[in-house]
Amino acid sequence: MAETPFITLRAANPHDVAFLMELRRTSMWRVVTNHYPWIEADQLERVLLHFESSRIICSDGRDIGLFKVVYGTNQVQLCQIQLLPEFQGRGIGSMLISQLMKEVGSSVLSITLNVLRSNPAANLYARLGFRIFAEDRNSLIMLWHSTEAFQTPHN
């Protein structure tokens, strides 16, 4: 595995939509088309869903991915994490998800995500401690929660 590059996150803005569509095409085409036809309008809808929660992953001044997390009252939803292919397998996804888990671990919130069955990221999520909560023909709904967050303090 190549060295994990230094990354930063910045809020997405409307000028990022073209990048996010290209990112989706390059990182998700094969996975999506294993389950559904690729329809540009549907993919744009996916990019724009919870857009206010979108963070662009940057490395050395270059936009390299997307990290979209929605914070709810009872849970945190990891909506999307995508990286340009040349940045995959470098530990960036693991690092960002681990940071999110550490942040959420001090509360009683859980993290949920929905992943297409053919997406290799499902293996990453399982390795990080996410468990299958529900599933259908195309998707897995996975859940993670800190065991410490659900334990009662000892007196």
Give pLDDT tens digits for 47-80: 999 999 999 999 999 999 999 999 998 899 999 9
**Percent of the chain predicted with pLDDT > 70:** 92
The amino acid present at 40, given as its one-letter code, is: E
Q: Phi first, then psi: what are they for 18, rounded to 5°?
A: -60, -45
CATH number of 8-150: 3.40.630.30
Which of the pair, 148 or 100, is modelled with greater confidence?
A: 100
pLDDT value at 3 more than 50: yes
Going by C-alpha positions, the residue among 63, 61, 79, 78 that lies closest to residue 22 is 63
pLDDT value at 2 more than 70: no
Average pLDDT on 78-107 reads: 94
* Separation between Cα atoms, residue 110 and residue 105, nearest integer Å: 8
The amino acid present at 124, given as its one-letter code, is: L
- Mean pLDDT across the chain: 91
